[in-house]
Structure 1
């Protein structure tokens, strides 16, 4: 068994199903143990999101979560929902000042309001189909991590999401070099795991949960129990 696969099974055994991506309509679960917010998680519900409104909510969250924590994003999503603006058509009709104020809690509200408006226009053009990764990457404010998060969690495309936590953990375990590219890390995971949506969703979420426990700033990374795979 490759170390990548071993890590997945080890983390799943420790923390259980994570229920990502959180949705406002779900109250969250007490299990598995989770750091931070509990709102909206739905363990073992890989069919979610079910509606286009929920799909847009996930995509909006993926944009808003850039450079901030999820609890700040929750506040912004709740403010958007209070305006009826978790609907893309209503969002694009908001005036700039109202939209900026609604997403202020997520930080960088000038940029993120523009990104949301541009994405909402694109989303409306999609109809019922899923976007291509290349299409998402052409939209201002959407990089590889954000695009892959949208594909994996909103559109049910089995693609692995690489984030800073993934880099920290894999780097500490000697699986990657310091400056390795995003797509090479994604390939490393996808080459060693079956292309299954639940596995990719859980693996990304489990790495985040593990990193919050063992890889926070100033933490002694030698305490990471995954070092046993080396």
Structure 2
């Protein structure tokens, strides 16, 4: 059995408060839905002090008296799944050890539904069911139409919801959670995210991809209107 753990799990370091703002969209006694802004890491990607969602979450719960880093050494509040640095939107997090276990179980059983909004190049004029196959190679994802050893199912449904010039705003219902799945899949069908030069988009403004809706355990949480 091989375990791949992020650096902040392996490190035994002193808790350093992070007073940057954290937007809480929804919560109960054990779980939270947080909003991650574009440009912020979900979790640390290097040793030492770093601004990320986890450090902001731990600071908030420490200030509320829910989590004590000195006594709760076996549990550190964390987001239950990640969004890429340049993807914004909703993230589920465990406030307590019981909440973290519940979130992990929902994800493992496929009971956390995710929807995204993305702006893609060209005209998408009808809903589509994309049943593709993906393989991570270096810092990119490769996509093909047919299965092959080592390639993983990459399934999602898309629906156009609006147009912006020559671009289309689509809603994506993600059925599997693969590396760069939305970006690579849309590029594969000829509609890369607008501005996503890594996957063939035209240079210009940064690409727009936002996790807009999470459904779990009878709850459906959406980003509130600003």
Q: TM-score range by the shorter chain?
A: under 0.3
Query: Which has the bigger relative contact order, CA under 8 A and spacing at least 6?
Result: 1
For the pair shown, which has the larger CA radius of gyration, 1 or 2? 2
- Counting strand residues as a fraction of each chain, which structure ranks higher? 2
